[in-house]
Amino acid sequence: MSATRIDTHRLGELPALTLHLGEARATLTPFGAQVLSWIPEDGQERLYLSESAALGGAQPIRGGIPIVFPQFGTLGPGARHGFARTHTWRIDETRQGEDYVLVTLQLDPSLLEPGARTAFPHDFLAEVTVLLSERRLDVELAVRNTGTAPFAFTAALHTYLAVPEIERSALQGLGGSEYTDPADPSRWHAEPENVTRLEPPLDRLYRGGERVLTLATPTLRTEIAQAGFGETVLWNPGEHGPADLPAGAWRHFVCIEAAQASVPVSLRADEEWAGRQALMLPER
């Protein structure tokens, strides 16, 4: 039986929790309900967190697994990628078993700053569940319409996966999928090969979400699966990236996002939607 525990501490100015299960651990903060680190039983960090990431609770955190809700990118009238990543969520539940550790966090309109309601004036309950096992990390986003009128939203788990060198990394499992990019969003291209070389800058949205991908580097392999989300986004800005990425940092991550971006989710009163991404060590 593996020892389990949850430690509370601080990262910069932010409260944080670290989930432990044997040699595996994951760290998250209620600010944005954001996972910042995942180290499975092999002891190798799988998530990228920028050395320049803001940890003061006033700006989005560059790295880990940001929660995108209720707006993906600029596809709407609200703040880019929505308000979920810039508000503090309440901890609803923590639970430990013989082979798992779980934390659930919630966000509803009572926790929002007044300005956030302007672009999304709907009643909702958003819930993020983080489940750690020795060889796997599951992150689920669930949204319930708690009002009387229907609403629509877009969302994503904007996962930053660490790689030693992006030019020596590849993503397996996208062969035959169709994708588009911002340069010509109305045109869909077919991914001809099952192994996609990661050559930044990258900004692709792939149709279909029920797939298992493998991120392969010279030293690590990580499997990525998703359910509920209908699309997958592949992103790396290349050398001309955001200011909160140090010079050369783009070579050490790739974002593989479980997304519902081009096709919004519509919820009637009391309806609920959920989407999940699992990060896994390959079978032995």
Query: Where in the sequence numbering do the catalytic residues fall?
Result: 158, 257
User: Quick check: bond before 70 cis, omega within 30?
Assistant: yes
Strands (DSSP E) contained in 12-158 are 14-21, 24-29, 34-39, 67-68, 90-96, 101-107, 124-133, 136-145, 151-157
Q: What is d(CA 199, CA 16) in angstroms, rounded to the nearest whole number?
A: 34
Helix, strand, or coil (residue 117):
helix
16 neighbors 10 (Cβ within 8 angstroms): yes
Alpha-carbon distances, residue 95 vs 10, 98, 104 (angstroms): 20, 11, 9
CA–CA separation, 117 and 100 (whole Å): 36
Neighbours of 248 (CB within 10 A): 9
Contact 158/65 with Cβ under 8 angstroms? yes
Q: How far apart are CA 196 and CA 184, in angstroms?
A: 20
How far apart, in Å, are the Cα atoms of 107 and each of 6, 202, 257? 21, 31, 21
